[in-house]
Structure 1
Amino acid sequence: MTLPGLLSATVAEAIELVGDVRAVRRTLETLVDLGLGYLTLGEDTPALSGGEAQRLKLAGQMGRTQRDAVFVFDEPSVGLHPLDVRTLVHVLDRLVDNGATVLVIEHDLDLIANADWVIDMGPGGGAAGGRLVARGTPEQIAADDDSLTGGHLRRHLGG
């Protein structure tokens, strides 16, 4: 395999190409776990979406101690297939399990439904927003009739 050939491979393809080079393989597997297996190794980072760039930065933090770390993500699910959102939820759960505090600004109902605590700002966007509408567990938000997010979450949770 030539270097140009390797750089044109996707992250998922490259896992097979690097063989038993443990550190490289582990990094590539982390990228796949973060839903980035489709990226090519030689892809320019300015071409990445905001969510992709955040997940790429996160990959560099995985495997490090996260005790007392605070991670803030702004719409990390943008552009993700719903199955990849599930993967992202598991990665965020791993960060919390490793002692990190994770704050996510998000509209994806799967991510919201898996949160420990939700702060719903609104009641709308832009000039119609900016005030606290509801706060609590996803179930508490879903039960709040004043929360637009709660209505969507209620339907999402099947209630």
Structure 2
Amino acid sequence: LGEATPGLSGGEAQRLKLASEMGRGQDDTVFVFDEPTIGLHPLDVQVLMGIFQHLIEKGATVVVIEHDLDVIRSADYVIDLGPKGGEQGGRIVVAGTPEEVKACPESMTGKYL
């Protein structure tokens, strides 16, 4: 509060927009978040994941682009891109549940899950 909106980080701006949506009906709404956990304490990440679950229970679809392993573990479905970053990435290595990603030997993400 008290900070100009352009001075907020991407994650802070996303969380502010999310807060403004919480009181509305979410049927047929798709939310896309790009690394919303950046800068959050691990306990705050748990709170954010609870908010995502609330949105899903209200009928929304939540898509999260994320590197935080706790968030990935809690996902219903994961699309793991790679095998590395930049020019050595960009292809789907594995798509499925976190358990399926974990079982894929080509998945760098799976190795850490």
Q: What is the TM-score of this pair, normalised by structure 1?
A: 0.70
Matched with 2:7 is 47
Matched with 1:125 is 85
Which of 19, 24, 28 is equivalent to 1:59?
19
Which of 83, 98, 101 is equivalent to 1:138?
98
Cα distance in 2 between the residues matched to 1:136 and 1:88: 22
Larger radius of gyration: 1
Deviation at 1:150, TM superposition (A): 0.2
Matched with 1:15 is none
Matched with 1:69 is 29
Letter in 2 for 1:53: A
Across the aligned residues of Structure 1 and Structure 2, the Cα RMSD in angstroms comes to 0.6
Cα distance in 1 between the residues matched to 2:55 and 2:85: 30
Q: Give the ranges of 4+ consecutive aligned residues of structure 1 lying more than 2 Å apart after TM superposition.
A: none
- What SS is found at the alignment partner of 2:32? strand
The structure showing larger relative contact order (alpha-carbon pairs under 8 Å, at least 6 residues apart) is: 2
> How many residues are aligned here?
113
Letter in 2 for 1:49: S
> Runs of 5+ in structure 1 lacking a partner?
1-40, 154-159
Cα distance in 2 between the residues matched to 1:110 and 1:55: 18
- What SS is found at the alignment partner of 2:104? coil
Correspondences of 1:6-155 after superposition (within 5 Å): 41-153=1-113
Letter in 1 for 2:35: E
Letter in 1 for 2:98: P
> Runs of 5+ in structure 2 lacking a partner?
none
